[in-house]
């Protein structure tokens, strides 16, 4: 099994790295943000008031919102699994998607993406059919406070295009600020986005029976950070890197239905071969005890 070095991060915005004194002034900081952002705490970004979203066309039942000038939220109210006790969580860039242009880590425009792995679409759909609520958590720092700006519009377009590429319903949370400007601790590895998601589970069970998170930032030599593995640790959920979950076939342990599920995803032999190759790579990277 692959080993990850994990940093311990604060689990609330009031324990975040900008200090206790600054945390006590969260309300004042937010009041300033409201003046600069020109709006209230929550702004609805539906088709009626967003030209960029209207051009793409929202899936029926989908609503976009912005909170605290530091969080973009996409909720699909039509999802049949919205009250499920099983939640499948994913990072976006280099986990579900990669750029067509090869530019990392961000797409140059809303159409500059493709599935990171050929099995992503099928795996998401099968998880959805198995009763999982699918949630995407992403850091999108280039948006900053401009939650109605050009970059935010590109993200909304990109996610609506992605939604039409798959059958599975999903919710999306994007943290757009960092450091002291992230007054609610939304940015991973802090757990503000996770808590926001849980707060929206009205009428759902407070007990989660099966939850996991898949992300590429796992503090490996090729990774840009450990934000994803630390986020999973802080949320106390099981963690996988994309190579494990998709190519390696770890998703299978979360499938309850039998029969056609494997055929929907691909040939089992191919995935098993990928898993063996990944196991070999992990053993080579794991230092002796």
pLDDT band of residue 146 (cuts 50, 70, 90) is confident
Tokens of 13: 């915005």
User: Of 7 and 84, which is predicted with more confidence?
Assistant: 84
The average pLDDT across 149-161 equals: 92
CATH 3.40.640.10 is held by the domain 13-285: no
Burial 100-138, CB ≥16 within 10 A → b, else e: eeeeeeebeebebbebbbebbbbbbbbbbbbbbbbbbbb
Q: Tell me how far apart the alpha carbons of residues 98 and 105 are, in angstroms, rounded to a whole number.
A: 8
Q: Give the pLDDT confidence of 198-234 residue by residue, as tens digits.
A: 999 888 888 899 999 999 999 999 999 999 999 999 9
Q: Do 103 and 109 contact (CB within 8 A), yes or no?
A: no
Give percent above pLDDT 70 in the chain.
67
In the chain, where the domains are located: 13-285
Residue 252 CA from chain centroid, whole number: 20
pLDDT at 153 over 50: yes
CB count in 10 Å sphere of residue 238: 15
Residue 115 CA from chain centroid, whole number: 15
CB count in 10 Å sphere of residue 95: 24
Give me the chain's average pLDDT, please: 77
- Which DSSP state fits 209? S
| SS3 of residue 66 by DSSP | strand
What is residue 179's predicted lDDT score, i.e. its pLDDT? 94
| SS3 of residue 140 by DSSP | coil
What is residue 106's predicted lDDT score, i.e. its pLDDT? 65
- Which DSSP state fits 245? I
Sheet holding 170-175: strands in order across? Answer: 42-44, 62-67, 71-76, 170-175, 133-139, 86-90, 210-214, 238-240
Q: Tell me how far apart the alpha carbons of residues 91 and 208 are, in angstroms, rounded to a whole number.
A: 19
What is residue 206's predicted lDDT score, i.e. its pLDDT? 82
What is residue 105's predicted lDDT score, i.e. its pLDDT? 62
Burial 37-70, CB ≥16 within 10 A → b, else e: beeeeebebeeeebebbeebebeeebebebbbbb
Q: Quickly list H helices, the chain.
A: 20-24, 26-37, 51-56, 120-129, 150-165, 192-199, 227-235, 242, 261-265, 268-285
Q: Give the pLDDT confidence of 1-54 residue by residue, as tens digits.
A: 443 444 444 444 334 333 334 333 444 443 443 333 333 344 444 433 333 333
Question: Residues 6 or more apart from 190 whose CB is under 8 A from it?
Answer: 9, 10, 11, 12, 13, 16, 182, 231, 234
What is residue 140's predicted lDDT score, i.e. its pLDDT? 94
């Amino acid at each position: 099994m692959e080993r990850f070095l994990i940093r311990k991060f604060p689990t609330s915005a009031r324990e975040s790295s900008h200090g206790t004194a600054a945390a006590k002034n969260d309300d004042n900081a937010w009041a300033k943000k409201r003046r600069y952002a020109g709006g209230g705490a929550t702004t609805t970004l539906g088709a009626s008031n967003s030209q960029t979203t209207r051009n793409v066309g929202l899936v029926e039942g989908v609503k976009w919102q912005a909170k605290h000038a530091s969080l973009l939220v996409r909720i699909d109210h039509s999802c049949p699994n919205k009250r499920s006790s099983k939640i499948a969580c994913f990072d976006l860039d280099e986990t579900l998607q990669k750029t067509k242009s090869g530019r990392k880590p961000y797409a140059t425009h809303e159409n500059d993406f493709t599935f990171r792995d050929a099995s992503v679409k099928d795996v998401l759909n099968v998880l959805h059919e198995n009763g999982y609520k699918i949630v995407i958590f992403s850091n999108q720092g280039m948006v900053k406070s401009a939650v109605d700006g050009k970059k935010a519009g590109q993200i909304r377009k990109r996610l609506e295009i992605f939604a039409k590429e798959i059958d599975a319903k999903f919710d999306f949370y994007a943290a757009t600020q960092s450091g002291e400007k992230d007054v609610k601790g939304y940015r991973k590895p802090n757990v503000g986005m996770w808590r926001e998601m849980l707060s929206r589970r009205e009428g759902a069970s407070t007990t989660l029976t099966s939850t996991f998170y898949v992300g590429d930032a796992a503090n490996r030599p090729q990774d840009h950070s450990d934000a994803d593995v630390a986020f999973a640790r802080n949320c106390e959920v099981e963690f996988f890197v994309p190579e494990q979950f998709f190519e390696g076939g770890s998703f299978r342990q979360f499938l309850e239905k039998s029969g056609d599920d494997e055929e929907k995803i691909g040939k089992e032999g191919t995935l098993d071969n990928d898993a063996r190759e990944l196991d070999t790579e992990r053993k080579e990277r794991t230092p002796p005890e």
